[in-house]
Amino acid sequence: MNNILQLKGRFEQRPNNFRQGALKLPKGKYVSALHLRELSEQLKRILNYWETNRDINGALVSVHYKHIVAKSNRLKILLSENSKSPAESIKGVKFIWEPDENGNEIQKHVFTHYVSLKAIEKAIEVLNRTSSVIETYFNGVINSEGTEQAAEASACSFNEISKTSFLKAVIDGFYVESFDIDRAEEEITEESIITIYQTGIETKKLLSKFGIYIVDERIIDGTTLMLNPDEAKLLYNNASYLIAMSVTDFSQLTRDEILDDHEETYYGESLIPHPANEPVIGVIDTQFNENVYFHEWVEYTNLLDPNIPLTARDYEHGTEVSYIIVDGPSGNPALDDGCGRFRVRHFGVATHRGFSSFTVLKMIRNIVASNRDIKVWNLSLGSKLEIKPNFISPEAAELDRIQSEYDVIFVVAGTNVPDGETKKNMKIGSPADSLNSLVVNAVDFRGKSASYTRVGPVLSFFHKPDISYYGGDGPGYMDKMVVCRDDMGAAYVSGTSFAAPWISRKLAYLIHIMGLSREIAKALLIDSAAGWNRRDDISHSIGYGVVPKHIDDIIKSQNDEIRFIMTGASEEYETYTYNLPVPVVDHAHPFYARATLVYFPQCDRNQGVDYTSTEMDIHFGRVVIEKGKVKIRPIDNNQQSEDKLITLYEEDARKMYRKWDNIKHISEEIKEKRIPRKAYESGLWGLKINTKERLKKRKEPLPFGVVVTLKEMNGVNRIDDFIKMCMARGWLVNKLDIENQIDIYEKAEEEIIFN
C-alpha cells in the first residue's frame, strides 16, 4: 500500500473582483403593479398592528419568498433602514412547504426581520411609487426587457422614484410572495427550551412585560430560555410572535438495547498494562464504574449534584462507552483497528433515566474550556424526540459554537429508535443534528444499516449522519458488541452509542499520533467511508458510508492510488493553487479523481435554516487557459462562482454542489470503459476554494482541510513520479509513515527530568 502524502506549499489569495451586472429580472419573468400594491397593503396591516402593540419597540415582519432564494436575491431595498442593508435586520429563517400554481409542493424561504416602524413606512412608499411607475410607463406589467430598458435609461427618467430604487423594488417584488406576522403554532404545555427573536429590548425586561420573571441562569446566548409550563403558556398566549423555536427540555437518554447475558469473569488488572503517555479522549456520558479492570485508564468526575441518588444502572452506559475507547479491541478482536489503547477523561453528567438538556448545555462548555488539552470528545447521549425541520436543537447549536471557538471535535452518536416506537424513518434526535460534529450511525457486522438507526437529513438539507460504523444488531450475542460495565464479566450490547467511540478512537489516533488537523482527520474518515462509490443522494441512515475497520485503510491507499492531503486557511474570497503536477501518459491523465473538503464554520441558530455562516465552494480539476485566463475544469463540472453570469438557482446549487454544507465530497465515477483525461498545455491540475459569508465578513482566517485521491485507470503505481514532480514545482512532500509518527509522538510525550 502507498503512504498518504502531505503537500505543503503556498495557497494564493485574492478578493472577489467580479462585479454584478445591471439590476434586471430573470429572462422571461415579469412583475405586475397589482402584486406590488398587494405587498403594500400587507405591510400597511402589519404597520397598524405594531403601532398598537408597542411591546418590542419595533416590528417583526416575516418575508415569504416564492421559493428558496440565494443571498443575492433577498431584499435589496424593502425594509432597509438608512444606509443599512435589509440583511442586517434578519432575526430568523425557516422553510415552509406549499403548493405552487401547478399543485406541486415546493420548498420556500421565510425570513423574519426586526425593523423600526419607519422602515415599514418607507417600504410602503417605495412599493406605491414603483407600482405607479409600472402602471404609467409599462402598462401595469414590467418584464425582463423592461428592466433592461429602465437600467439603460437616464437617471431622471421617472419623477416618482430614482432608477436604482425602482429596479431594486421590482426585483424584491419578483422574489417576495407576501409579508406577514408569523406566530408559533405549536402550543407549549411542558417545561421547554424556547428561543425568542432578538429585538431591541433586553430579554429579562421584555419577558417581564408578560409577567415572566427569570434569572440569568435560565438564559443561554441572550435569547434561549428555559421556561416552566406556566411561563411558556404565558409567552404563547401573550406574544406568540416572539417565539422563534421551542423544544421540550427533558430529553431522555436513548436507551441502547442490552442482552443481559454474562459469561465468566475474565477481566483482571493483569490483562491490561498501566497507562503511560497515551492520548486522552473526553467522554461526556452517564457515570463511570470505578470497579472495572481498566479503571486506571479513566479519570472520572461526577458532575451531578451529590444529593442525587445513583443506582447501578446509572453507571452502565458510561462505563461501556469508556471501555470501547480504552480497550475495545480486547473484547472485540474482529474490530481491532490497530489504534492501541487510549486514556479517558470521563465526565458523568446524567443518570440512565434521563437528563435536563439545559443543564447539560451549561456543563459542556465549562468542561471543554477547562480541559483544553483534549481534542476529541465522545458524546453518546441523545434525545428520544425527533429533531425539528426548521431549526437546530439548542444542544447541537452549543456543540457547533464550541467547535467554532475551540480546536476540538465532537463525535456524536446518531441516536436509536426508542423501544416500542413503530414509526418508519424516525428522524435523529438532538444533539445528532450538530453540523460541525462527526455524527455516527450504526451498521450490523455485515455492514447493513442497523434496525434501530434513525435518519436525517437536518434542516431538510444537511446530510446527517456523516458516517456509520459497527454497533451490533441481531437476536444473538454473537451479533452484539462486547463491553465491560462492571466487575462481573462481559456484557453484550448494541446501539449507535457503541459505534461512536470506535470513531473517537480513530479520530484521536489521526490527530494525536499522526499529527493531523481536525479538518484533515474528519475529511479522511469521510473520504475513506465514501470510497469510489459515488452517490448523488447520500443515504440518510448510513451517511457517506461505513468507515474501514483498520487504521491502515484510512491512512494508506492502494498501490494504484495517489492520496494526498492539503491544509490552508481562507483569508479572502478565493484561495487557490494551479500548481498540482498530475502525471501525464501519452498526452493524457490516466486517473479517476475524488476530493473531500472539510471546515468548521461559525453557525447561528437564530438564522434558522440558514444556519451555517460560511460557504466554501471547491473546484478541483485540470488547469486550462481560455482567452488568456487560467481556469480549472472541475471534475464535477461545478460552475458556481465563475466570472460570468450563469443561471443557477439556489435549489440546484444546494442539490448539485452542496452549497452551504460544511462537508464537500466530489468524485468521478469509475466506469468499465477507461478514458484518460486530456492533458492541457500546462499538464497541471488546480484546487480553488471560493468563500462566501452569509452575514458579515469574518475577521479571522478560516482553516480547511482537503483530501484528494487519484486512481490510476490501468492499475499502475505512479506515486514516485508524482512525488518527484511535486518537489520540482516547489511543494514540500511528506510521507505519512505510521512508525515514524509513533516515534515522534512518543518522543514528544516523554517526561524530561532535570537533575
CA distance 285 to 324: 13
DSSP letter for each residue of 676-702: PEEP-TT--EEEEEEEEESSS--SS-E
Task: Give the pLDDT band of residue 673 (cuts 50, 70, 90).
Answer: confident
Q: Do you know the residue count of the chain?
A: 755
Q: Mean pLDDT throughout 596-608?
A: 87
C-alpha cell of 378? 465522545
92 band by pLDDT with thresholds 50, 70 and 90: confident
Residue 258 has pLDDT above 70, yes or no: no
Give the least confident one: 11-20, 120-129, 389-398, 742-751. 742-751
Q: What is the mean pLDDT of the chain?
A: 88
In this prediction, residue 99 carries a pLDDT of 85
User: How do residues 428-476 score in pLDDT, each as one tens digit?
Assistant: 998 999 999 999 999 999 999 999 999 988 887 788 999 999 999 988 8
In order of 126, 414, 482, 526, the CA distances from 121 in angstroms are 9, 48, 67, 51
| pLDDT given for residue 216 in this prediction | 86
Is 248's pLDDT higher than 70?
no
Q: What is the mean pLDDT of residues 686-694?
A: 90
Higher pLDDT, 237 or 719: 719
pTM, two decimal places: 0.87
Specify the pairing of strand 192-196 against strand 243-248.
antiparallel
Weakest mean pLDDT among 152-166, 224-238, 329-343: 152-166
Position 693 pLDDT exceeds 90: no
E-strand stretches of 155-297? 176-180, 192-196, 219-220, 224-227, 243-248, 250-251, 258-259, 280-286
If we measure between CA atoms, which residue out of 319, 713, 744 comes closest to residue 501? 319
Question: pLDDT per residue over 636-654, tens digit each?
Answer: 886 655 554 444 455 554 5
Which pLDDT tens digit goes with each residue over 132-142?
A: 999 999 999 99
Q: Which tens digits make up the pLDDT trace of 540-573?
A: 899 999 999 999 999 999 999 999 999 999 999 9
Which positions ≥6 away from 320 have C-beta within 8 Å? 483, 484, 485, 491, 493, 497, 498
- The whole-number pLDDT of residue 264 equals 43
Cβ–Cβ under 8 Å, residues 490 and 266:
yes
**pLDDT band (50, 70, 90) for residue 185:** confident
Q: Which helix (H) or strand (E) holds 467?
A: strand 467-470
Stretch among 253-262, 313-322, 725-734 having the lowest mean pLDDT: 253-262
Supply the pLDDT for residue 654: 52
pLDDT at 117: 95
DSSP structure class, residue 449: B
* 282-294 tens-digit pLDDT: 999 999 999 999 9
pLDDT > 70? residue 213: yes
* C-alpha to C-alpha distance for 329 and 502, rounded to whole angstroms: 9
**For 315-330, what is the mean pLDDT?**
96
Are 506 and 547 in contact, with CB atoms under 8 Å apart? yes
pLDDT value, residue 490: 87
Pairing of strands 343-350, 355-356: unpaired
The whole-number pLDDT of residue 645 equals: 46
Q: For residue 250, what pLDDT band results from cuts at 50, 70 and 90?
A: very low
SS3 at position 484: strand
Residue, of 188 and 182, whose pLDDT is higher:
182
Domains and CATH numbers, the chain: 30-180 (no CATH), 192-248 (no CATH), 258-553 (3.40.50.200), 558-742 (no CATH)
398-408, pLDDT tens digit by residue?
A: 999 999 999 99
With b for 16 or more beta-carbon neighbours within 10 A and e for fewer, the 374-411 pattern comes to bbbbbbbbbbbbbbbebbbbbbbbbbbbbbbebebbbb
**pLDDT, mean of residues 295-321:** 93
Residue-level pLDDT at 406: 94
* Cα distance between residue 157 and residue 154, in whole Å: 6
Alpha helices in 287-355 (DSSP H): 313-331
Give the pairing of strands 467-470 and 438-443. parallel
Q: Which three cell numbers stand for residue 7?
A: 503537500
Model confidence pLDDT, tens digit, residues 354-382: 777 777 878 899 999 999 999 999 999 88
Q: What percent of the chain has pLDDT over 90?
A: 58
* SS3 (DSSP) at 117: helix
Residue type, 485: R
Separation of alpha carbons 720 and 208, rounded Å? 71
Cell digits of residue 268:
483482571
By the 8 A CB rule, do 623 and 680 touch?
yes
Rounded distance between C-alpha atoms, residue 242 and residue 259, angstroms = 47
Distance, CA of 259 to CA of 481 (rounded, Å) = 10
Share of the chain above pLDDT 70, in %: 91
pLDDT interval class at 744 (50, 70, 90): confident
How high is the pLDDT of residue 268?
Answer: 47
